[in-house]
Structure 1
Amino acid sequence: MAKPGGAGGERDVALLDGTARAHVSKGETLSDWHARYDRWLSAQIRRRFSSQSGEDITQETWLRMAALDSFDAIRHPKAFLLRVASNLALGQVRRGAVAERFAAVTPTVSHEDADQLETVFFRQMVLDLPQPLRDVFLLSRVGGLTNSQIADQLGISPKTVEWRMTRALARCAAQVRR
């Protein structure tokens, strides 16, 4: 339920029960969001995770948010921030599980050998991606390009870049889970 907004594209959003409101403004920056939601996000993450991993997750959440081009399309900021944080926490758990399985199979491997094996594993995982997915993945993750830049470089739409990146990440996640 949205009330007609104020100046500058601002609007108040009420939840169905009418009790909670989120203030959303067009053209907000990462600094605006950080000022508004950092204390809240830190408290939510501390409640859900250990203090050390919670601090890491909070920092990583803001780093992920910094990669976004715009915040205008995000209608529920708190839900979005919690989803990013939850996904990061899940990734930590999965990486920990992979590390445990790896350690159980190769308990005498040195750190250098483990790093080398991990590098070979991830390199092979990327090489196993179909060429269109691999191109998008490498331009994004290695090249550091935005979806728009990748779309321009490959001559495809940003939506196609998004779709291919989603598929590439899903395939990589499936490989890690094996």
Structure 2
Amino acid sequence: MTDAKPLDGEDRDGVNRLYRLYAGWLTRRLCAEVGADAADDVVQETYLRAAPHSAEIRHPKAFLLRIARNLLKDEARRDARRRDAPATRDPADSQAASQFDEVLLGQVVRGMPPLYRDVFVLNRFRGMTYAEIARTLGVSPKTVEWRMARALEYCASRLDL
């Protein structure tokens, strides 16, 4: 991921000190922008990038925040490239993939136990709400929720999600 050099004892102490002093602050600062899980990942990568420079940092908060924001920008650019990449594919390939996905989903839904399948089909393909499904099937909305959760678990297990 990064081209960080091995740290000698002095550099390692500098990174440890930086981490103890500012990791909590940086994590809280990034949580508002990207959420807790992503913030933790960005903070770790920030310290990997900052490690070779830890002895020469004069304004640590500004330095760490700049690295973190650059990492977020890099990730946003990668995401944009990933989103744009399918547009460059051959339309026939994406149509074939889409047809394959539809056939696979159809097989999974047909193999689903009927109690789960009814709720899944009514919600996902007919657009009915849980309350409407409950009235139609004569069950409680909680039962519909439970069956839908099981239907989604079933799909995920069969589609390796």
TM-score, normalising length: structure 2 = 0.45
Larger Rg: 2
TM-score, normalising length: structure 1 = 0.41
Going by fraction, where is strand more abundant, 1 or 2? 1
